[in-house]
Every structure is written in C-alpha cells, then in structure tokens.
A and B are shown apart, each in its own frame.
Chain A
Amino acid sequence: MPFSAQPPASGERYALSASLDNARHLSSLLRAVHFQDHATCLATASGLRVTVEDAKCIQANAFIQAEIFQEFSVQEESVMFRISLSVLLDCLTIFGTSSLPGTSTALRLCYRGYGYPLMLFLEEGGVVTVCKINTQEPEELLDFDFCSTKVVNKIILQSEGLREAFAELDMTSEVLQITMSPDKPYFRLSTFGNAGSAHLDYPRDSDLMEAFHCNQTQTNRYKISLLKPSTKALALSCKVSIRTDAQGFLSLQYMIRNEDGQICFVEYYCCPDENITEAEL
C-alpha cells in the first residue's frame, strides 16, 4: 500500500476524511472513555462516535459531531472499524499533552475503507507527523436498549458537585449504590468499604440540581471498578444527566464544552450488579 507523507489530494475518494484545527477537541474526549485498550469507531454524516466496552457490563461513547470538524466527509452511509485507542491517543498527542495557549496541533484524518489503516497527519509549528494505525474488524457492540421512553428516574446535576465525590469514592467498596427517589434521600451515592459505609446525599432543592424527575424509589448497585473511569468524563463536563430504567440500567450523559465553547457529549451505560448480596445501609 503506498505510503505518502503528504495529505491526499482532494480528488481521492476516502471512506472517511476529516480535518480539525485543534486535535485536542478530539483527544480530550477520547481520554474520557479510555478505560480499555481498544475502541470501535463509527463515522456517519452526523459525526464520529467512539465506543469502549468492558466486561459486557459497561459501555462508554464519545460523540464528536461533524460541526466540530473543519471538514468532515463520509462517503458511505457509515464507516466502522476497531482500533487501538491507546495508540490513537498517543498519536493525537504526539506533540505533547500540555496545552500552551495559542498553540494547537492540526489534524487531518483519512480512512480508505475496510482493511485499510487509519492515517493521521498532525502538524504543529511547521513540524508534520504522519501516523498509520492498523484497523480491525469491528466487534458487535452491546445494545442497552436505553431510550427516553423507558426512563424511570432522571436528574441533571452540575458536575462540580459530583467531581470531588467521585474522585474520593471509597474504592475498598465493591459497589457504588445509587438511590433515586421522589422522597428523601432523593439522590444518594453509597459505598460499603473497609472503613464502613459512606453516603453522599443531594437534596432535590440543591442549587446543583438542574432537573429532578424521579417517579419511583430505586436503589441499584453497580460495580465500582466499572464506574470509576467515568470520573474522567465528569472532570471534563459541566453537567451530567443520570437516568435509570425499570431494570436498573444506568445512563450517565456528560455535557462537555471544549476550548472553543462547542458542546460534545460522552455517555456511559452500566448494568446493575446482581451478584452483590444485600448490603448494609
């Protein structure tokens, strides 16, 4: 396969081609879902979706809509491939991760199609780096079948109220228990660790609470090790929506504002943990 050090001419047909003036718009979002080595990328006319899964219980999606890119074109209806997210991130941040004001890495992304590697052209300060990352057959993704009509409880919180709590979660606890209720304690995060139990309560009238729609008292437990990576997404976000459905599936949606003020989303889906026996309260 020919290897060219120059970006392809605009006449060439690529299944996916995109350019971005500031690669950080992409790399920071990908970091928020980087808890496994591999990710599945799906490109459609609306934008790019990068999915990471673990243990068949948790799925994280980073959405970078087409409007974020300076150029974004997908030739077919959709393009999908599996790629090493670790390598992709290393390449995107090849000029370093510190963000000096005024400097940014420009990115051009090209993908010829099934079986071809993903080409990245990165430029900063006149220096160009070309990366070629092999792609793999995409694997079947989990479908949590989570839609807004099935939501039982939903709250929207300002992220600043949760950030510290998530960073300080008692990791000696196997689970993170989430209680959502129209009555007290309204919204409660609980851990049961070696030191004892800890509960974090957010009242419905807290000024951190942007929206509170809880219809039924639900208490669900999730493996804390699976949810802990979502702390990265929380740290980047300004708002988070927490929703559960009748089966206790959890949806966390993070609204992230990038350096240019554009809005992107990251979401995490998690299955409730059935194996944990009745935990003490």
Chain B
Amino acid sequence: MKCVIAGGNVKVLGRAVHSLSRIGDELYLEPTESGLSLRAVNSSRSAFAAFLFAPLFFQLYEPGSAGPDTELFRCKVHMKSFLGVFRSLPSLEKSVGKCLILLKPRASRLVLQLHCKHGVTKTHNLAFQECERLQAVFDTQRCVSRLCAPARLLAEAVVHFPPTLAEVTLGTGTSGRISLRNYVEDDAEPSKTMVTELWLAEDEFQSVAVAPGSHITFCLKEFRGLLSFAEASNLPLTIHFDKPGRPVIFTLDDTVLEVHLVLATLSDLDSSSQCPSTNGVSHLPAPPDDFGDDLESYMAAMETSEGCSEGPPSPTFPLRTPQPAKSKPQQQEEEEEEEEEEEEEGAVPGTPPHKKFRSLFFGSVMTPGRPGPATTQEVLAEDSDGES
C-alpha cells in the first residue's frame, strides 16, 4: 500500500490519529478499494472507532493489489508509535507539506515520511503486526432514533460536565427536547453527588427523529475524542441510538471522510438481561468457562454455529453473576476493573468480571456487500480480564 497526503489534509489525519488514541492502544490500518480505514477498539471492547479516508482525500492512493485468494494487506501498530509522528498538531500545520505512508510487508515496516519545509524529511519506520479485520457489528439503519447536530452544539453542551465525568445520559423528552445528564451510580451517596442536566431545544439540531421518552447512557470520555475532531473539522455529528443496551453510533460524513464511533450503552435495570436464557439468543452457544484470552478461537467457534434469525441481536452478554437476581448496573471503567474483581468474591473462577457496559459485537471477517449483520449470526466478544 502506498498513499500520499498533502497540505491541510495532513493535519486532518493527525487529528484523526489523536481521536483514535483516546480509544485504544493499537491502531489498525486497513487499505480498501473505497479508501484507507484507520480503526481502534478499547480493551473492554465497548468502544470502536473507524475513520475511512476516501481515495480523493489523498494526492495518491494505491491500496495495493489483492490476489484471488489473498486480501489487501492490513496491519496494526502501537498507537503511541503512530501518534508520535503526529504528536504536535500545530507543527504539522506549520511545517509539514506532505505525508507519505508506505507499507512494506517484506521488511515488516510501515513507513511514514513527512516532507517538511526547508527541504527537511522525517522518516519513521514503524514495526507492525499482521492482524485480523477489526469490525464492530452495528447497523445504523436499525436504530430507532437519530439526531443530527453541529459539533459545536454538542461541544458547548458537554463543557458543562466535569472533565473527569465518565458517563453521560442522553434522553429524549417531550416536544422534541433533548437532555444531557451526568450518569450517577445507584449506590452513590445522595449527599455527595451533583447532578447536572441540560435540555436542548429541537430547533438547535439539524434534524431530530427520535422515539420520545428514550434514553441511553454512554461513556463520555471516549466520545470527547470524536467530538474534538468533529469540532475542528466543522462537520455535523449524527447520533444513532436505540434501546438502552444497544450500541450508540456517532457518525461524521464528508465527501472524503467517513467516521464511525460505536459505543456500548448501559442496559436498563428493567431489561431482560437478568435471565440469560430469555434475551432472545437462547440458542447462542455460551462461551466455555475457561474462556480466557483466546478471543480468536471463540470467534472461530462462533463462525461454525448456526446463524440467528430470531429478532435483532442484543449486544448484552449473558450475565454470569453468582446471584442473577441482584444485577446491579455498575459502571465499567478500565480503571475500576481491579475494584470490581475484589467485589466479585463469590464469582466463578475464570468468569469475566461483571461488566456494566456490554461488549459490542465483533464480527469475524466480513466482506462488503453482505446483508446487514443483524440478520447473520451474532458474535459476542467478551474481553477476559486476563488478556495482556
């Protein structure tokens, strides 16, 4: 693969990398016929972001050739290494005229070359790893509600929440009003919590097509990365959401760029997630008790099982707590994982910790043109806490 990015687009690429760095530790690069896709996923598989740069974004775009049996080469690199090349956005804007990205499979190197002013050339040779396709299973068409707003509106709304706030609840009220409220845990002390809620009128949005009285809770931290990208690029942001527990999808669309951010949302207390067997996926083979780190083999097992045709797939993982009736919707944070493990004294050894945010679906290799993922088999990618 070989591509050249020129002028102001270098900074756009840099901003995209900064945005992706808020999601995961690895950057997945996938050159396709429709453009170069950069993706990231967080360690608990509850956030996925993909930036697709169309061929027109580039001064030169050669995805490489795929043989009849081989696909286009894709790889992943350490996020820190890739980010290091684009670390200073102001200096990118000031001194970089062109950026060349070259994938050298035989040398096992991803070459990033910046052509700067004064004739200076910066060449970075990054080590990469081959990888499977990273794709979250989601379908914006199946989302009941949709909101479209200028990024500035959401950025100004989000500024009212403390920078450390983890989760926020987006709700639809009466007469088309949209609310944003910080999520407070049930077991939080009422005297020590502060609730901030703001309402936005329908006319502040570019379009509102929502189911009234619905609400979703998602991780604000992961959303902020995309929001700053959207604001800087001056693009309207579209939010697709559905029932609590179903992923929320944020999209940005441009002639040369398509961005998707998929975040898992908190399930409702009243939802059927208490009884694993009745959440509509009864024939889904349950992951073995010794699930461990071997995501790949689990996904392989999924591929061989029958497809599900019964209703829309739920991203909720069957709960496996010792006391299924007491399912508290605790918040899942990467930082709080250790805390949770301590709480789970009675848990079955090897059981993944009780996660508040259910994992997103992660499909195995998907070719474009296939029917929507909802109608094919479900794949659950539960992250084991032992994964290094």
User: Which A residues are closer than 8 A to B by beta carbons?
Assistant: 161, 164-165, 168, 170, 194-203, 205-208
Contacts and interface: CB of A to CB of B under 8 A. Distances in A.
Contacts of A206: 118-120
Given A195-B78, A195-B80, A198-B125, A164 B119 contact: no
A201 B120 contact: yes
A208 B120 contact: yes
B127 interface: yes
Nearest to A197: B125
Interface stretch (B81-89, B147-155, B171-179, B200-208): B81-89
B121 interface: yes
Given A196-B81, A196-B109, A199-B121, 4 more contacts: A195-B80, A197-B124, A203-B121, A205-B119
9 contacts: A161-B118, A164-B88, A195-B78, A199-B121, A200-B121, A201-B122, A207-B118, A208-B118, A208-B119
A208 B118 CA distance: 6
A168 B88 contact: yes
A195 B84 contact: yes
Contacts of B88: 164, 168
A198 B124 contact: yes
B124 A207 contact: no
Contact of A201 (B91, B121, B127): B121
Interface residues of B, number: 19
A129 B125 CA distance: 54
A195 B118 contact: no
Contacts of A170: 84
A161 B122 CA distance: 12
Contact of A199 (B87, B109, B123, B126): B123
Given A164-B91, A199-B123, A194 B118 contact: no
Contacts of B81: 194-196
A195 B124 CA distance: 9
A199 to B, nearest CB: 4
Interface in B18-75: none
A198 B123 contact: yes
Taking each of B80, B95, B123, B126, which has the highest tally of chain A beta carbons within 10 Å of its own beta carbon?
Answer: B123
A141 B300 CA distance: 68
A203 B346 CA distance: 66
Taking each of B87, B120, B121, B123, which has the highest tally of chain A beta carbons within 10 Å of its own beta carbon?
Answer: B120
A201 B116 CA distance: 10
